[in-house]
Amino acid sequence: MGIFYTPIELVVNMLMLLIAGFFLLTEIKQVPWKKWQAPTAFSAWCASIIVLTLLWRMHVRVQPDLSLHLLGVAMFALMFGRALTCIGAAMSVVVYTAEFDGLWINLGTNIVVLAVIPAVLSDVILKKTERYLPSHMFVYLFGNGFFGAFAVNAATGLCALFVHSLLLPRFAITNDAYAYMLLLAWGEAFLTGFLITIFVVYKPAWVFTFDDQRYLRGK
């Protein structure tokens, strides 16, 4: 849902690039290096960057430079946390731009929309559920894996459509685009909840946001 092929005003792009750079530099300091050193964790993170790029490529075009596709960033955020998601999703934007001949001038805007916003939203939802809801495994799986993923995907999709209509007003967005985006977010939420459950059970080293001490100890 990024804007990869239609030029955006230079001033807007420079501002977005500064915002993206600020967040990325901040998040580098927050990388959980110890968790990253767990067996296969780094490999899973690298593979997720590639998967994210391919997900964005499997899209349905709605109108010029506006496509609907699975986002995948909510899943990424649950697996690796906010810092590594910001960095990893930003790398996916760079790879997508390079591999599919996108406009480098739009890089900052796409990083903010496809990496920073969903990563921050997912982190906020995770912290709110930890603070206000019981520390139970099913609260994590359903509250974050399903409902949280839907909220992140829907909010990111709406933000992407808003940015598109704001920066490219000559391409009017139809109401159908909003409806299909929300349906797609709902379907992706089911997929995210299903996969995060499997990873928590069989590959817990890949799910940095799942805390055994919080959700399993004494249960």
Mean pLDDT of 47-74: 86
Hey, what are 82's tokens? 């906010």
**120 burial class (0-12, 13-18, 19+ CB within 10 angstroms)?**
middle
- Arithmetic mean of pLDDT over the chain: 87
Which residue do the tokens 């974050």 mark? 144
Query: What is the percent of the chain where pLDDT is above 90?
Result: 31
Q: State how far the Cα of 211 lies from the Cα of 146, in Å rounded to an integer.
A: 18
Mean pLDDT of 199-203: 89
Lowest mean pLDDT among 13-17, 61-65, 143-147, 187-191: 61-65
Mean pLDDT of 159-184: 83
DSSP H stretches of helix in 29-148: 33-36, 41-57, 73-99, 107-111, 117-132, 137-138
Q: Any idea what DSSP says for residue 173?
A: P
Q: Which pLDDT band, with edges at 50, 70 and 90, does 219 fall under?
A: low
Which three-class secondary structure state does DSSP give residue 61? Answer: strand
Q: What is the pLDDT of residues 113-171, one digit of tens each?
A: 999 999 999 999 999 988 888 888 888 888 888 899 999 999 998 988 888 888 887 77
Hey, what are 19's tokens? 């915002």
User: Is the per-residue pLDDT at 178 higher than 90?
Assistant: no
pLDDT for 218 equals 56
